[in-house]
Amino acid sequence: MKIGCIQLNVGFGKVDENYERAEKFIREAVAGGAEIVVLPEMWNTGYALEKLEELADENGKRTKAFLSSLSKELAVHIVGGSVSVKRDDKFYNTMYTYNRDGELVGEYSKVHLFRLMDEHLYLESGSNMNRFALGELEAGGAICYDIRFPEWLRSHALDGAKVLFIPAQWPTPRIDHWKILLQARAIENQCFVVAVNRIARKVENFNGQSMIIGPWGEVLWTGAEDEELAIIDVDFSTVDEVRGRIPVYEDRRPGLYEKVIKE
Ligand SMILES: NC(=O)CCC(=O)C(=O)O
């Protein structure tokens, strides 16, 4: 399948501009043959956390209408990155996924809030898993900092996900962690990882390097350090073969972990 990864240059607080640019890239991706399109984290507002009252998408209404109509019109699956959303007077970092029929198949809010970027001061955390299917492709999704919690992503793989989609705003100073953690999540879960980071304008410090990693841990693509749309052809059929090569799912001893690891 062809995956369109949109390493967007997210404008800080520039909501209308961000929707326009996202739409332009989604249309370009589909024109280039993409069957799945992936956006980065918080692409509607950026980390304009102090202005969420004014800027966050009320009940995700605008984003849902945007993703639903584009996915249907263009017959493309859209993993909609994440957006800042206002629900019941609280703010969330929420990921919506639409299939190519324009149906909402995945909705979850970031579970672990990232203190170094003040998320815990402004946002509420979610608590539900993000498992969905895009046609025949069994998938899961987790946002940025959530990849530091291997047991969280493992739960998606145990539930049947063969690819994990990771939208992010991962800053340059820890980009080595990003690469290693993504590779580790792919190797330990023997699944594909499709991870899309953002690019920053001058003041903020995000240098892209989105990644697609195979279930054996092989890096299939690394994004540039600039805004880009990349269309990458991925053969998702290799997961079962890799899982047969080293049968970690059969060899797991979950009863033991529960006994030994106390909360
Ligand atoms: N937006 C995020 O969750 C950033 C996570 C991050 O930078 C990290 O080091 O973890």
| pTM score over 0.90 | yes
Question: Does residue 170 line the site of ligand 1, with CB under 6 A?
Answer: yes
Segment 52-59 long-range contacts (CB within 8 Å, at least 24 positions apart): 52/84, 52/86, 52/91, 52/122, 53/86, 55/13, 55/15, 55/84, 56/84, 56/85, 56/86, 56/91, 57/83, 57/84, 57/85, 57/86, 58/85, 58/86, 59/85, 59/86, 59/87
Nearest to 223 by CA among 202, 205, 203, 198: 198
> Annotated catalytic residue: which of 35, 41, 119, 227?
41
Range of the domain at 90: 2-260
Active-site annotation holds for 144:
yes
- What is the pLDDT at residue 204? 78
Question: Does residue 114 line the site of ligand 1, with CB under 6 A?
Answer: yes
Out of 147, 149, 170, mutate this one to test ligand 1's pocket (max ligand atoms within 8 Å of CB): namely 170
Number of folded domains that form the chain: 1
Tell me which residue has its CA closest to atom 9 in ligand 1: 174
> Annotated catalytic residue: which of 64, 86, 110, 162?
110
Low-confidence ranges of the chain (pLDDT < 70): 201-202, 260-263
Active-site annotation holds for 2:
no
Segment 126-130 long-range contacts (CB within 8 Å, at least 24 positions apart): 126/92, 126/94, 129/155, 129/156, 129/159, 130/95, 130/97, 130/106, 130/156
Where are the alpha helices (H) located in 48-149, listed in sequence order?
52-55, 61-74, 119-122
* Packing angle of the helix pair 150-158, 175-189 (nearest 10 deg): 30
- What is the pLDDT at residue 1? 97
- What is the pLDDT at residue 242? 98
- What is the pLDDT at residue 216? 98
- What is the pLDDT at residue 259? 73
Model ipTM value: 0.99
Question: Does residue 169 line the site of ligand 1, with CB under 6 A?
Answer: yes
- What is the pLDDT at residue 257? 85
Distance 171 CA to ligand 1 centre (A): 7
- What is the pLDDT at residue 263? 55
- What is the pLDDT at residue 201? 67
CATH number at residue 79: 3.60.110.10
